[in-house]
Amino acid sequence: MRLLMLGAGGIGGYFGGRVVAGGGDVTFLVRPARAERIATEGLKISSPHGDVTLKPKTLTEAREPFDAVLLSCKAYDLDSAIEAIAPAVGPDTLVVPLLNGLRHYAALDARFGAERVAGGLAHIPVTLKPDGSIVHMGPLQRLIVGPRSEGQQARCETLHAALEPGGFRPILSQTIEQAMWDKYVMLAAFAGLTCLMRAPVGAIMQARDGEAIADAFLAECAAVAEAAGRRPAEKPLSEARALMTTPGSSSTASMLRDLEGGGRTEHEHILGDMVDRARAAGLLAPMLTVALTHMQAHEARRTAA
């Protein structure tokens, strides 16, 4: 199966690179500067599971269909990403987004047809350094794909098999919609908490009401999921709460790392969409609303500078 990975940043570079290292057929669709760096210096991955430097195939412009296209861009680059992959999407191509949140599915379905857009998500603590190398910051390396409709089942099974050489044990889920909601609840609550407080979990837990505020974020997000018929089960909720309330933890959401780095963030795609869903369901979401407003105010100052 010929796979096209849009982007060679943290998530796309890591998982795509692992598949290449295992002998899989992956081509990276990247910007010219990234293609040049990969050609000269290689795609470098540093990880608890082993370091590797690769010279994978790259493209700066798609010209023909692939069997599957995986998107690993930031949400604010979605429109340009859709245009970039369009020539690579044929009648039988499977499109699998690995973006955070859920809002991107509407745009992808509208452009390529819902029958071509499968479900996907990644759980991995990873970052892209200024020198272009990928740093995997912990052992977790979970990639989940699955059909959003019965007609996608066979193609998702083929994709799952094509990802297996990567060694990260990809998961083929028959309940991918619920899995995506489980992650969305965790991510929105975690991002809202750490971005609003501008601090890692351990520091927040030292505040008198830190734990109560974390619980409030999680409760609001779970209520939105429940209104959509996708309330997480007790295990994912417990895992999310542990992530957000462990004393001494240095964990922060990637959104906070982007904010502190001075770059754009996915606040509208994550927090904004969750607030919109809450309002549409007639739910109050005061913590999410404050966190979103905080991020919007920061973005106004950033763009005015």
Question: What residues contact 113, with CB distance under 8 A and at least 6 apart?
Answer: none
Instruction: Tell me the CA distances in angstroms from 90 to 86, 107, 112, 117, 147, one per residue in order.
Output: 8, 17, 9, 12, 18
Separation CA 10–CA 133 (nearest Å): 9
Token digits of residue 144: 């989940």
Residue 197 has which token pair? 């407080």
The rounded distance, in Å, linking the Cα atoms of 303 and 305 is 6
Contact by Cβ (8 Å): 62, 84: yes
How many CA atoms lie within 13 Å of 27's alpha carbon, on the beta-carbon side? 19
Q: Residue holding tokens 């910007």? A: 31
Is residue 183 flagged as an active site residue? yes
SS3 283: coil
- Give the Cα separation of 36 and 272 in Å (integer): 36
Q: Which of the residues 55, 129, 183, 235 is marked catalytic?
A: 183
Kindly list the catalytic residues. 183
